[in-house]
Amino acid sequence: NEVTYSSVLDACGKAGRLDEMRGVLDEMRRAGVRADEVTYNSVLDAYGKHGRLDEMRGVLDEMRRAGVRANEVTYSS
């Protein structure tokens, strides 16, 4: 479910396993599990901490397309 996927995404991000994190996010979508702002914020935070700004922009675009609104945490990432 969403909580399980979000936990795995967060753990991957904190461990610096960003490619694996991206794979989990893609798997989540294929499984029909909707990512929310908390999920996306974890991904954005991990990319930001590793200086991967292009990926951050891509995730922001993905959020918008999915209809997930950015919040204060999103922009502080």
Residue range 14-61, pLDDT digits in tens:
999 999 999 999 999 999 999 999 999 999 999 999 999 999 999 999
Residue 35's CB: how many other CB atoms inside 10 A?
22
pLDDT band at 77 (very low <50, low <70, confident <90, very high): confident
Residue 34 corresponds to which amino acid? R
In this structure, the chain runs to a length of 77
> What pLDDT score was predicted for residue 75?
84
> Does residue 68 contact residue 40 with C-beta atoms inside 8 Å?
yes
> What pLDDT score was predicted for residue 32?
94
> Does residue 14 contact residue 51 with C-beta atoms inside 8 Å?
no
> What pLDDT score was predicted for residue 1?
83
Which residues 6+ apart lie within 8 Å of 34 measured at CB?
Answer: 2, 66
